[in-house]
Amino acid sequence: MSLSTSELESKHRPLLDQALAATRSRDYFSAYPESPSPRVYGETAAADGKTAFESLLGKEFPLTTPGASGTVATEKSPFGLPLDVAYSRVAPDGLDALLSAARAGMPGWRDAGPLARTAVCIEILARLHARVFELANAVQHTSGQAFVMAFQAGGTHALDRGLEALAYAYDEMTRHPRTAIWEKPGRDSPIRMEKTFTTVPRGVALVVGCNTFPTWNSWPGFFASLATGNPVVVKPHPGAVLPLAITVQVAREVLEETGFAPDLVSLAAEDPADRLAATLATRPEVKLVDFTGSSAFGEWLEQHATQAVVFTEKSGVNTVVVDSTDSFRGLCSNLAFSLSLYSGQMCTAPQNVYLPADGIETDEEHKSYDEVGAGIAAALDKLIGDDKRAVELLGGIVNDGVLNRLESLPPSARVMVESREVRHPAFDDAVVRTPAVLGIDASDTDIYEQECFGPVSYLIATSGTGESLQRLRSTVTEHGAMTASVYSTSDEVIAAARSAALDAGVALSENLTGPVYVNQSAAFSDFHGTGANPAATASYTDAAFVAPRFRIVQSRRHI
């Protein structure tokens, strides 16, 4: 053991305390600076990170995986950069060895206690932070996020979310004293007992990563499960392995240095034909599953992994209700940004924009339905009309599924803004597209009552805001949503929108016309997802996300 846990406890306790305070206030807090500027990270940080990333390409990734045999290389950069990183492959016949190795370290990790485990996890975050430029490159070239977004959403913001999950987990694990004296008044003398409460893990935790946000969506569950004492098996999306391979590498390194079993964390890279996630998720040893991805597989997990607690984030139909605005320009440019960011390949990107068929009142003048469409088109043109600028916002199209959807849009819809191919100045083979905006009617439910993941949104003409809100309520209740937003200058409409959002169980943003976008959620302040509608069964991060990950075992004795 080259690093003592008590050292780590002292080192990270101040940050933990700050994070704990932030979870209580839900005020602004960030531990990992989001600006990739040399002024923050040093002159050579960006280049060093890029070099570190490049040194991993075309090779076998150095990681020990119990039960693995052979390798797989399944990633493809949306920017066209050849990756060819090979990972130890876990085949179904290797799962016994993998899970048994994972479980072997549990007693030692459990006995270390909440503070030591949390401090070890914060050290893992610190080491990931030290490799944040390398991670940003890895996220960029697997997810297709543009670099700055990959640095933030895939790096520093993801680190903040990880820390947030740790703070909640630590708080719940320590809400009871380690030892309590129980003294019951008795007839003659009191009855006294000493009671000891120990948090114990549930079992093996499985984290199933996604292609678009391999770190941001995986780290909360990863750290919540690990801090509460559970070994974690990470099953990355075959298209986004590298960011999670680095995560597992760092975690194993810190576990080993602190004297714990490195096999408490392992990477289960797969040949996609193996459908390893389904097999793993239903193993009796697996007691926790965190999944981000399709509704189809998410629902399958909820229905079949009944031996485990399953946390899912799936898909939904994110909704915007446009009633009126005191800043038509602000509305259009804010919405244009939300539609463009990472080509709408975010679980939080708006899709269904309801507005009255006869238009809306604005600060400029009454705007007809078509004029609203034109306003958004103009804002999009301003934002991403220039290819060189556009690529830094749009990023690349993550996979063929998204591209296919974009190329087979519903023929009955009116194209209000056409999608176009964008040429990336740095990567010839990058696949970059601008968002399409389609005009449809409220009766076209077959089009908009399902998620069209990617750069596609609908301007849906309704009979008025009353119908818009009713559609919000019904579509979100039935099909789910991660986000909703409303634009209105009327207090009554805002109140009605809040009420609809509460009924439908979706987070609401009101009148975003400035530098905050509906698809962005800030760690320690915004809850990501609610778990109250079909889009997700979990929220980053609340007590329900962490409390079921451990149990309390007591012993009692007379004193």
* Residue 559 binds a copy of itself (CB under 8 A): no
* Coil, strand or helix at 238: coil
Alpha-helical regions (H) of 214-272: 219-227, 242-257
CB of 200 to a copy of itself, least distance (A): 6
CB of 106 to a copy of itself, least distance (A): 9
Q: Give least dist CB 221 to a copy of itself, A.
A: 15
The footprint of a copy of itself on residues 276-305 (CB under 8 A) is 302-303
Q: Which amino acid is at 118?
A: T
**Residue 290 pairs with which residues in a beta bridge?**
207, 311
**Beta carbon nearer to a copy of itself, 211 or 334:** 334
Q: Could you say which of 7, 21, 24, 418 contacts a copy of itself (CB under 8 A)? A: 24
Q: Residues 157-196 vs a copy of itself: string with x where CB under 8 A?
A: ---------------x--xxx--xxxxxxx----x-x-x-
Coil, strand, or helix at residue 16?
helix
- Token readout for 81 is 């950069």
Whether omega for the bond prior to residue 541 falls within 30 degrees of 0, making it cis, is: yes
Residue of 353, 312, 347 whose CA lies nearest to 536: 312
- Report d(CA 365, CA 423) in Å as an integer: 37
Nearest by Cα to 153 from 336, 346, 300: 346
Cα(162)–Cα(406) distance, rounded to whole angstroms? 33
d(C-alpha 27, C-alpha 19), whole Å? 10
Identify residue 283 by its one-letter amino acid code: R
Cα-Cα-Cα-Cα dihedral sign, residues 426, 431, 434, 435: negative
Q: Residues binding a copy of itself: what is the number (CB under 8 A)?
A: 67
Q: Which of 280, 436, 501, 523 binds a copy of itself (CB under 8 A)?
A: 501
Q: How far is CA 143 from CA 60, 113, 214, in A?
A: 20, 36, 8
Binding mask 107-146 for a copy of itself (x = CB under 8 A): x--x------------------------------------
β pairing state of 87-88 and 71-72: antiparallel
> Per rule CB under 8 A, is residue 427 in the interface with a copy of itself?
no
Closest C-alpha among 450, 485, 490, 448 to residue 469: 485
* Cβ proximity to a copy of itself, 408 vs 558, nearer residue: 558
Part of the chain binding a copy of itself (CB under 8 A), chosen from 151-159, 263-271, 440-448, 511-519: 511-519
- DSSP letter, residue 324: B
Q: Which residues contact 328 (CB under 8 A, 6 or more apart)?
A: 362, 363, 364, 367, 375
| 21 touches a copy of itself (CB under 8 A) | no
Selected binder of a copy of itself within 6, 7, 17, 26 (CB under 8 A): 26
326 in contact with a copy of itself (CB under 8 A): no
- 366 near a copy of itself (CB under 8 A): no
From 9-17, 132-140, 262-270, 548-556, give the range in contact with a copy of itself by CB under 8 A: 548-556
Residue span binding a copy of itself (CB under 8 A) among the ranges 250-258, 417-425, 465-473, 514-522: 514-522
- At its nearest, how many Å lie between a copy of itself and the CB of residue 431? 33
Closest separation between CB of residue 292 and a copy of itself, Å? 18
Binding site for a copy of itself (CB under 8 A): 24-28, 107, 110, 172, 175-177, 180-186, 191, 193, 195, 197-198, 200, 202, 302-303, 306, 498-499, 501-503, 505-516, 522, 525-527, 530-532, 539, 542-544, 547-548, 550-558
